[in-house]
Amino acid sequence: MISDTHIGSNVGLCQSPGIRLDEGGIYEQNVFQETLWRFWQHFWNTWIPEITKGAKSRTLVHNGDIIEGSHHHQTDNVPNIDNQEVAAVEILKPVVKEFDRFYSIRGTEAHGDVADQSTERIAKELSAVKEQDTGRYSRQELWLDCNGVVSQFAHHLGMTSSAAYETSAPMRELISTLIEAAQWNRPLPHIVWRSHRHRYTRVPVPTEVADIELVVTPCWQLKTAYAYKVDRTRMPHIGGVVALIEKDKSWQIKRKLYPLPQPNIEKI
C-alpha cells in the first residue's frame, strides 16, 4: 500500500537519471530526490520481498496523488503534465508487474487534474483492475475482501497542524464509518485506509472479536512550500504499509518508514 508519490514535484519521487522533458531535455534528480529514490529502491527490492515472503497472493493499491500535476501557479514542478504521466508509468510499471493485481485510487484533483484525468490515464497504462460499475481504471473508493477481512480505501482525510490532534481526524473518520454501517446496515470494514496528510497513523477501536482500525499511509514527497506554511517543524513520513492477512480472519499491519536526514545547523 503506497500513496502520495507526487511524481513531477521537485520534492516528489523522481527516477534516475530523471524525467524526460519536451524538446529532449532532462529534469535531473536533486540531492533530496536522490535520497527518496534510494529509499524507494530499498522498499521494493528489499523490504517488500522480505515482509511478503511466502504470500500466496499480493495486491498493490496506490491510494491517490500519483503525480504532482499543475496547480496554484506552481513554478517548482515539471511543467508538462504528459511528461509527469509518462514518468509515473515508467516508475510504477516495474513495481506493478511483481503483484497479482493493482488498484488505483483517485486523489486530489489539484494533482490528478479535473475528474482525475491524469490518474485515469496512468491507471489504464498500468492495467489497473477496472471498477465493475463504471469500467474506469481508477476509482474514488475501493472495498476489498481478503480471506474475510474487509478493507475500505479512499484518499482524503482531514488535516491538522498540531501533533496533539494527529489522531483526531482519523478517529472521527473511523467512528463515522461505524455509525454509517450500523445506521444503514452497510458493510463494516475491518481496516479503513486513508492517505493525503503524508504522515503515518494508526487508530484502533476495540470490539469483542478484534480491533477495527484506520490506517493513514505515509508518502513519497518531502515538504513543499505549502507544507512549511502549515507546519514548520514536523516532517512527512516516507514509506509504505503492508497488511498481512491470514485465512483465520486475522491480520497484521507492517509499516516501513525511512528516517530523513537531520537538519543542517549553522554555527555563527
In the chain, beta strands by DSSP E: 18-20, 26-28, 59-62, 101-105, 138-139, 141-146, 149-154, 191-194, 201-205, 212-216, 238-245, 251-258
Annotate 22-88 with DSSP letters as a single string.
GGG-EEE--HHHHHHHHHHHHIIIIIHHHHTTT-S--EEEE-S--B----TT--SB-S-HHHHHHHH
pLDDT digits (tens, 9 = 90+) for 15-37: 998 999 988 899 999 999 999 99
Residue 221 has pLDDT above 90, yes or no: yes
The reported pTM is 0.95
Low-confidence winner among 18-22, 44-48, 59-63, 197-201 (lowest mean pLDDT)? 18-22
